[in-house]
Every structure is written in structure tokens, then in C-alpha cells.
Amino acid sequence: MHRRELFSFLSDSVKNVVKEKKENINIVRPPYFSDINAFDIECQNCEGLCATSCQEQVIIIGEDKTPSLNFSKSGCTYCDDCAVACTPNVLTLEAKKLIDTTIVISQIACMSWNGVMCFSCKDPCLEDAIDFKAMFTPIINQEKCTACGFCISRCPSYAINIEVKK
């Protein structure tokens, strides 16, 4: 095998891995829906009022015209404004529930798990759902966690991730 063929092979492999990761990105929906399929049908003719009414600006409208949550800057306060603003009634107050995700801390990426004193995730947690065992081992108490996402944007090492429940 020549060098050019080797680099071409490696480049194609990396492109395929990136493509697979993009395809496997899970979409996190606002917590006020009862029918997941309604997003694809009803949101197509909507003006995205759910996103503009969001106080924390965590709702974004995707290329497919459906709303999803982005916790990179803030979290969801469950304020109900998106459901009130939703004219197609995809989001309704009657369907209010917790965001359908599990928040997890990567022990490899977490600074506390690696011996650096950091409480960045604990401080913004409104439900006090992050427990520190022995000061250096944060663990999310899933029974208390509302999956609001406030801890995600505050983590300086990007160690907090979302796992969408299936």
C-alpha cells in the first residue's frame, strides 16, 4: 500500500465516524408534549413561538422546523411559557412532564473525579440533585434530578452529558 492510499483510507475512516456521530445525535424535546410524532407534522407551519417565548433561550428551531433543547448556555426552568405560546398545541400544559433524558457525569472528563476541587455543577442545581461523596466524586441523584440542564452549561470540562431515554 502506498502512502497516498493509506492517508486516503484513514481520511475516509474519520469521515465515516464523524458522519455516524452526527446521525446518532439525539434530539431533546421540550417537556410539554404528548405525541412525539406531532413535532414532524404540526411544527412545519409554525412560526416557532415556543422558542421566542423561552425565558432561558434553550429552545432552538432546527432545520426541520421542530423545537429541541440546547443546554449549552442555560437550562429549562419549566416555566410553561413555551406550552402557552404553542399555537398548534404540540406543547400543552396538560402534557407537562420532566425532560425525557438522563444527565450523567463522565468520570474521565470531570475535574473533581480527577482530584481538582470543583463544584461548578452543584451550585446551579435547583433540586440539589448532585451529591459529592468525599468532596471529589460528584454523583447525580437520578431520583431528584429534573434533567433541567443547568449543570451542563456550567461544567468547565464538559463532563456532563445527556442520555436520551429510549
| Strands of 94-151, DSSP E | 101-105, 130-133, 137-140
* Reported CATH class of domain 101-164: alpha beta
Instruction: With beta carbons less than 8 A apart as the criterion, state whether 56 and 103 touch.
Output: no
The structural domains of the chain, with segments of one domain joined by +, span 9-95, 101-164
All residue ranges of the chain with pLDDT < 70 are 1-25, 166
State residue 15's pLDDT score: 44
Tell me the three cell numbers of residue 47.
412560526
State residue 18's pLDDT score: 39
9-95 is classed CATH 1.20.120: no
Cβ neighbourhood burial of 129 (10 Å; 0-12, 13-18, 19+): buried
Q: Do domains 9-95 and 101-164 have the same CATH topology?
A: yes
State the DSSP H helix or E strand holding residue 68, giving kind and residue range, or none if neither.
strand 67-69
Residue 110: name the closest of 102, 125, 121 by CA. 121
Instruction: With beta carbons less than 8 A apart as the criterion, state whether 104 and 147 touch.
Output: no
What's the predicted TM-score (pTM) here? 0.79
